Amino acid sequence: MFFSVIVPVYKVEKYLPVCVESVLNQTFPDFELILVDDGSPDRCPEICDSYREKDSRIKVIHKPNGGLASARRAGIKEATGDYVFNLDSDDLIENDTLECACKIIQATNCEIVSFSYRWVRNGQTVDITNDGLDEGLYAGDDIRKHIYPRLLMDKDMNHISYYLSGKAVKREFLLPLQLGVSEKISLGEDLCCVIPCYLNAKSVYISKKEAYLYTVREDSLSKEFNTKQILLIENVINEISKNDMSEVADFNKQLCRYSCFMCFAILASAAEGDYFKSIKALKKNIKNSVHSKLIPCAEFENISFKSKITIFLMKRKCYRPAFYFLNLCKNIKKLKKG
C-alpha cells in the first residue's frame, strides 16, 4: 500500500460525500482511505459506513469525540501505507494529487511532499497560498537555510504552511511525531506536528501544484467569538517549545513574532465580527499569558501599514485602540467596496 489517506470526521455531513469522492476518484489507485468518525452527532457515522460497504479501500473508525489530534492519532495507528496524506473532511483534493505525490516521492525519495492550497468559496477560487519557497527538493543544509528561517515566521510575516493537511509524509517518519502531539491541543494541532516534522526531516519537496482545495465555509464561523483562543495559542507555544530548536538560530525571535501575529489575527477576527464586548477579556487573557512577554519583543520589517499601526499599539498594551483601529479599517474597506 503506497498511501493512507486519513480523514477526521466531525459534523460535516454536508461536505463529507464530496470529500470522499475526491479521494475515490484519484488517478492513482494504490491507497486506503481511513475515515475517523470522531463521535460526530449528525449523519456522518452513517455516511462513513455506507461508503465502507461500497468500496473495500475504505476503513472506518468510530470513536468518542476527542478532537482533531485524537482523531489523527487513531487514524495513523490503523494506517498501513508507506506515506500518509491528511485531508480535512470538508476539503477536497485534485484527482491527480496522489499520482503527483507518488512521482515526486519515487524521483526524490523525500520524506515530505508539501502541496500548495487553493481556497475555494462557492466554487470560486478566492486565494492561493503556498510555502513561499521555490519548487524543488530541500535537503540537509537547504532545509536549515531556507525552511528554518520561516518555520514560525520571518520579519516579513512569511512562514511555511502551518497545515498538516495537503502534505504526503512518510508513515514511519510521521507516526512517532503525530503520536507525540498532546491531545489537549485543540487549536494549532497541525503546527505542533508540522514543526517537529521539519526539524527531523532529511529531505522535503516543496510543490507549487495547487493540489489541496480548502473549502471556505460561511457556516464554520462561530456565532460567539471565543476569547480563549488567546490561551489556546499559548498552549501551542508551550508545546512547540518542547522541541529541540537549537539548530533554528532565531527561534526565540520567531516565537515572539508568531505570538504577536496570532494575537493580532485573533484581535482582527474580533474586530471583523464587531465583538466589542470581547475587548476586556482579550486584554486580560493576553496580559495573563506568555504573550505579554513575547509581543513587545516581536520585530517586523516589510509589513502593511495596518499591521504596523496595530502592532505598535499592541506592543504598548493598547488593545482597545488596536481593536477600534482594526474595526475602522474593516468599515472603510466595506465603504470602498460598496
Cβ(121)–Cβ(40) under 8 Å? no
Q: How far apart are CA 126 and CA 128, in angstroms?
A: 7
Residue 223 is predicted with a pLDDT of 45
> Grid coordinates in use for 86?
491528511
pLDDT score at 220: 53
Average pLDDT for runs of 10 along the chain of length 338: 97 97 98 98 98 97 96 97 97 98 98 97 91 96 96 96 96 96 90 97 97 84 72 96 95 98 96 94 96 97 97 97 97 86
Residue 63 belongs to what H/E stretch? Answer: strand 58-63
Distance CA 167, CA 162 (A): 11
Torsion angle defined by CA atoms of residues 30, 26, 109 and 142, in that order, rounded to the nearest 10 degrees = -160
Q: What local confidence, expressed as pLDDT, does residue 222 receive?
A: 41
Integer angstrom CA distances of residue 304 from 102, 151, 156, 310: 39, 21, 9, 10
Domains and CATH numbers, the chain: 3-219 (3.90.550.10), 229-337 (no CATH)
**d(C-alpha 283, C-alpha 287), whole Å:** 6
Contacts of 42 (CB under 8 A, 6+ apart): 11, 13
Rounded to 10 deg, the angle between the 229-240 and 189-200 helix axes is: 20
Contact present, 65 and 36 (Cβ < 8 Å): no
